[in-house]
Structure 1
Amino acid sequence: MSLSIPTTIYTPYYCEENVYLACEAMASEDVSAVFISNHEKTVALWNQKLSQDPQFPVFWDYHCVLLFRGPEQFYIYDLDTRLPCPCPLKDYLNQTFRQDIPESFHRFARSSR
């Protein structure tokens, strides 16, 4: 089991490619690619590096992260977050998504498994 960031090539604005390469690098682990979007293609994510102020969200049409199943909890690898990477799933969800926003900015997630 490895919790370090995979040493893969990082390309800004290509989260799905970055996650694909990370999944390949961690092929021996229990990992999944998770796609985050919504019907409006305006999902709001906080604590993204692209935001000049962590108090303001970044709006993506979609975002892709890696979900890692550790022995006692799940972790998210988001190479575009200001949060630790990997980040415990519960912490990532609490600090990346908010409920006090219009429903059109809420998110849906789907795993690649």
Structure 2
Amino acid sequence: MSPTLPDCSNCVYTNCYCEENIFLLLKRFLTTPENRLHWDFFAVLISNPTKTVALWNQRAASSRDSAIIWDYHVVLALRERERPDKSLSYRQTSELAAWIYDLDTCLPVPCHWQEYVGGTFPPNCGLPVEFQSLFRVVPGEEYLNNFASDRSHMISLTQSPKPQYFAKAPPYPCICGPSAAEQGIKHNLMSHFVSMVADEGFGSVMDFSSFVAWCSRTQP
């Protein structure tokens, strides 16, 4: 029997700041010992070299049947942990569930990975390569320690003396993880997380088939 899924009700949410929403949700989940006992947590950044990824069932789309093109998107993934004793009475690794928390989806939250992947990246839709997604999977603690955003990527380049944001900024201060702060880093969102250059940044970059294998536990 699977452990209880962490509750994301009443979580902090700001429209168009998915990277910060997921940071705060990860922080909330990882402060609960019971969660850490049963689940491994990850931030999953979705983008590609042209920063044009097509996702379905997003609330910002004109309809559920329509895709929306994001420059990037961020969700939280969790995978059920293996029992250390490897007892035969426990389920096989391939049966351990993975779940996705996407705070911008029309699908259930959380959502079993198969339903989420099938609803967000429909198969056989013949997408041109410039709209196909890559995935950077970052362990939760690594994301919390190293993430930094000064929100400069959301500022419109105008002549106004006061910064004009594409979307209203969150009411709380900019986020900077402890490791990033120690190094004096104020903004690495685009270069170390959204970028899909495999040998740069944090975590592991995967194509669609590798991400599915990761979710299904056929790949570490």
- Verify same fold: TM over 0.5: yes
Specify the alignment match of 1:4 in structure 2.
Answer: 7
Question: Greater relative contact order: 1 or 2 (C-alpha under 8 angstroms, separation 6 or more)?
Answer: 1
Stretches of structure 2 lacking an aligned partner (at least 5 in a row): 31-35, 82-95, 140-220
Look up the equivalent residue of 2:101 and give its one-letter code. Y
Instruction: State percent identity of aligned pairs.
Output: 40
Specify the alignment match of 1:41 in structure 2.
Answer: 51
Deviations 1:20-79 (A, max 9, x none): 001001103421101000111000000000012111111100000000113621000000
Equivalences for residues 1-113 of structure 1 within 5 A: 1-27=4-30, 28=36, 29-70=39-80, 72-98=96-122, 99=124, 100-113=126-139
Distance 1:20 1:44 in 2: 23
Q: How big is the shift at 1:101?
A: 1.2
TM-score by length of 2: 0.49
User: Which structure has the bigger radius of gyration?
Assistant: 2
CA-atom RMSD, angstroms? 1.4
Which structure has the highest strand share of the two? Answer: 1
Q: Tell me the matched-pair count.
A: 113
Distance 1:111 1:59 in 2: 20
Deviations 1:67-106 (A, max 9, x none): 0113621000000000000001111111101342111100
Distance 2:130 2:108 in 1: 28
